[in-house]
Structure 1
Amino acid sequence: MFRLDVSKLLEATEARGDSTGYAISRRAGISESSAYRYLSGEAQPDLNSAMRLAEAYDLDLRSVFFRLVVEATA
């Protein structure tokens, strides 16, 4: 499972002067509510939204996601 690295995304958005969910949503072409949910960690972007965010902020998609390691319990 992969998770959005919000801190890395925020570094890129702030470098472009976008510090609010509204500004991020406008630049990336995603809904404002989705942007706020992604930033709060309440939701994870689908592939389309992740690609929009990466493209809007000139990021390699792999640089803003990390693999969440979940160990199975016996």
Structure 2
Amino acid sequence: MPTHRLRAERLQAAAAARGDHSAYAIARRTGLSQSAISRLRRGIAAPATRTLLILADTYGLRVEDLVVTGTEAAA
């Protein structure tokens, strides 16, 4: 089963473009918890589909832009 993680650098760039430079700012804009954003950005939690949809919609990204699979990371 492939492991998925958030492409934190892509989220950070899109968030920064909207003035959101911290997990707190991202959480406020998206309605997700600050701790969830922090865990995702540090790579210690896998993103849920609902979370990815919220982040993608909020920051004008595709879900595919926000996810890296274990096989991609190994390449």
Q: Normalising TM by the smaller chain, what interval? A: 0.7 to 0.9
| 1:69 partner SS | helix
Shift, 1:29, TM fit = 1.3
Distance 2:61 2:21 in 1: 17
Check if 1:3 corresponds to 2:26: no
Q: Which has the larger radius of gyration?
A: 1
Shift, 1:28, TM fit = 1.2
Corresponding residue for residue 31 of structure 1: 33
Aligned-residue identity in percent: 34
Question: Of 54, 57, 60, which aligns to 1:55?
Answer: 57
Q: Which runs of 5+ in 1 are unaligned?
A: none
Structure with greater helix share of residues = 2
| Normalised TM-score (structure 1) | 0.84
| Normalised TM-score (structure 2) | 0.83
Shift, 1:26, TM fit = 1.1
Q: Which amino acid aligns with 1:54?
A: A
State the aligned residue count. 70
CA RMSD of aligned residues (A): 1.4
Q: Which runs of 5+ in 2 are unaligned?
A: none
Check if 1:64 corresponds to 2:42: no
